[in-house]
Structure 1
Amino acid sequence: MIDIETMSVLIVDDMRSMRLSIRNMFKQLRLGSTIRHAENGREALKMLNEGLFDLAVIDWNMPVMNGVELLGKIRNSKTLRDMPVIMVTAEADRDTVINVAETEIDAYLLKPLTMKALEEKVKNVIESANNPDKATIHLQKARELEEAGDIDGAINEMRISLKEKPNASRILRNIGLLYKKNNNEKMTEKCLVKAVSVNRQDDVSRFLLVDFYLEKNDLPNALNYYEKGRLTGQQAVEKGMLLAEKLIEQGMSSSAVSIFTQILSKSRENLSMRETIVNVCVQNGEYNYAKSLLKKIVEEQPERYDLELKLAKLYAGTNETDQALICFEQLDNSSGLDKILTPEQIISIKIWLAKFYMQNKKPFIADNHINQILKIDPSNETALKLRQINS
């Protein structure tokens, strides 16, 4: 039993002012006697593993390790998983947190916090922890049976819990996952589909369905459930990348591009993600989208000669000679090229230019590029052959 007046509370927020504000509210409300702070999820996890806490109040948006990542660590720990957790978030993140609420948090609070809202949430959460309802008791029994290897018994307990809360998508989802452990694909799919139908905000079940259909190579259904979800977290990005790559392989490029665009709109590491997407597109023959992304990157970061070279080669490979010439000429005239590109890359630029000018009846310009190649690599076979042809 948790004593609400003497309980130990951990407040996790990257803003010192917010940590102190929540602490003061707890003290004024006489909730808890030991109140400690952490400024990010990683620090909080260390404290949780080293001490005993009855309640955690966690901010959603933090550096190093955010609130959802910390929540996942807590719920996956046998020693911490039953600890009540309240998530704090800004109004802008409300929909995302409501989705998370259907997974593992006990309650959420919107900023700016009020004394009344905090008191109400804390009391409700502690009351539920001290006096779990019938559905929760059966869920706990199901977990014990699952850990003991009795999957059928766990499913039965879950079904009893579902009778208490027939529209709880979390319970439906967990039943589906138990059926998956029993290799019952039909019931796995049925339960996950039902979970999404009773709670349209349950993106956890939705993305489990994406995985389910990807494993069966059912791309239309995988795409359907992915597009209806809200993209949050690294796992969602990874699923999107995998799905998009499979769509390109099957000739569904427009759908893949739509997913890539959605991922980029949400990605904090936008540049790195764009480079990754470019590589995926090039490997799978989706050159137009790759070129559009590379063009934007080069415009934003003209010092990225390596990416401009990749763009030039894509233009050349798709017979866009005028655009390729612009890129190759810009690269050839760039200062400090040898500090970024390898000698082989520099030679590749000059070889393309030499061939271009030979084809366009400008032997003197072509010869100049050939000579530059031979200064770098006197035995370069391609340059030597071009010299013979050009002479």
Structure 2
Amino acid sequence: MIDLKQMSVLIVDDMENMCKSIRGMLKVLNYGSSFRFAFNGTEAWNVLQKQPMDLAIVDWNMPSMTGVELLGRMREEKILRDMPVVMVTAEANREIVAEAAESDIDAYILKPLTVKSLGDKIADVVEKANNPPPLASYLKRARDLEESGEPEAAFKEIQNAIDAEPLSTRPLREMGKLHLKMNNLEEAEKWLAKAAKLNKLDVIAFHHLGELYLKKNDIEKAAEYFEKAMNISPRHVTRGVQFGKVLVQRGAVKKGLAVFEKALALSGNSPSVQEEVADFCLEKGINEYALKILESILQQSPSRKDISYRIGVANENLGQYRKALDYFIEAGKMDRNNIDIQVRIAKNYIASGQVLRAEQMLSTILRKDPENESAKEMMKQCL
């Protein structure tokens, strides 16, 4: 049981003044006896690994690790997953509602905070933690039964949750998720579709329907539901990228690239997402698409030698050896001691018919690394 007056509270916000303000409000309310601060999600995670707390008050948008990312980690950790969390946000838009559903946020509160609004929200969250409503109790028991290898008993508890709150989508999708894990695809489809119909923002239901149709090898329907999930919640951009990878690996390259395009657009052409997609395509031999993305990244970050190098690799794979040379030489200027880059330069000199230049480069390599097998083999071609 959590005692409002004696509880330990973790306050997480990248603004120190906001942390102090929240603590001040809690003291006015006489809530909490010990307080810890963290200024981003990473710091908060480190605190919780050492010392679990009774309650966390977490800002939604922070650098390093956002509040939602922190909560996602907490819900995956057995010791922390049932810890009540109040999320603080500046606005309640569709994205936040979807993220709240996915991350199982206990409550969120809008800025600017007042003593009353904060006090009422915390009191409600603690009361529900101490005396869970039937829906939450049934679903927790179902989770524990599933983890202990008793799926049939878990199904019964989920049905109890559905009977307790017939208009809630959460038990419907939990029923669908468990059937999906058990590979009962028809039952899973029935329950997940019910959840999605009842709540058009149930991003989890849409995502699992995507997974289900992927298992059925119905690529069109899988793409439809993954796209719906991505449109509701940006978190699903990453999952969209994973879906694109699966399509490519299954040989549906054109469809996979279409999914990548949607994911990149929804991410706002995030450099990290661009790079992940480009590297995957480079690895799978989809060089033209990789090249297009890498060139876009280089325009934004012209000093990145690693991107110049990868553009060189893509051009080399496409047989565009002179273009490859331009990028390898540029990468080499930024890292003059990198033998791998020098080997690539020599290789493309040979491929483009510039044997004397290749020989000069190989001589330089072999002076530094006499046992370099690639350089020795290429030198034989020059003689």
Q: 1:68 to 1:242 in 2, by over 3 A?
A: same
Shift of 1:258: 1.5
- The answer to whether the aligner puts 1:347 opposite 2:346 as a matched pair is yes
| Aligned 8 A contact 1:306 1:340 in 2 | no
1:247-283 residue CA offsets vs partner (Å, 9 max, x unmatched): 343142551341452365264xx2x543332232234
The equivalent of 2:254 in structure 1 is 252
Q: Distance in 1 between matches of 2:10 and 2:377?
A: 69
SS at match of 2:261: helix
The equivalent of 2:37 in structure 1 is 37
| Aligned 8 A contact 2:40 2:64 in 1 | yes
The equivalent of 1:159 in structure 2 is 159
| Aligned 8 A contact 2:322 2:348 in 1 | no
The equivalent of 2:106 in structure 1 is 106
Shift of 1:309: 5.1
Amino acid at match of 1:344: V
Q: Distance in 1 between matches of 2:198 and 2:47?
A: 37
- Greater Cα shift, 282-291 or 42-51: 42-51
| Aligned 8 A contact 2:234 2:267 in 1 | no
Shift of 1:228: 1.0
The equivalent of 2:370 in structure 1 is none
The equivalent of 1:360 in structure 2 is none
The equivalent of 2:123 in structure 1 is 123
| Aligned 8 A contact 1:351 1:373 in 2 | no
| Aligned 8 A contact 1:86 1:109 in 2 | yes
Q: Distance in 1 between matches of 2:301 and 2:193?
A: 45
In the TM superposition, 1:1-391 aligns within 5 A as 1-45=1-45, 47-48=47-48, 53-91=53-91, 94-103=93-102, 104-230=104-230, 231-233=233-235, 236-248=236-248, 249-253=251-255, 254-262=257-265, 264-265=267-268, 267=270, 270=271, 272-305=272-305, 307-308=307-308, 310-312=310-312, 314-315=314-315, 318=318, 325=322, 328-329=325-326, 332=329, 335=333, 338-340=336-338, 342=340, 343-353=342-352, 355=353, 366=354, 368-369=356-357, 372-373=360-361, 375-376=363-364
SS at match of 2:217: coil
Q: 1:167 to 1:282 in 2, by over 3 A?
A: same
Amino acid at match of 2:31: L
- Structure 2's unaligned 5+ residue stretches are 367-374
**Bigger radius of gyration among the two:** 1
Q: Distance in 2 between matches of 1:137 and 1:375?
A: 73
Amino acid at match of 2:152: D
Q: Distance in 2 between matches of 1:47 and 1:209?
A: 36
Q: Distance in 2 between matches of 1:94 and 1:122?
A: 22
Amino acid at match of 2:337: K
| Aligned 8 A contact 1:351 1:383 in 2 | no
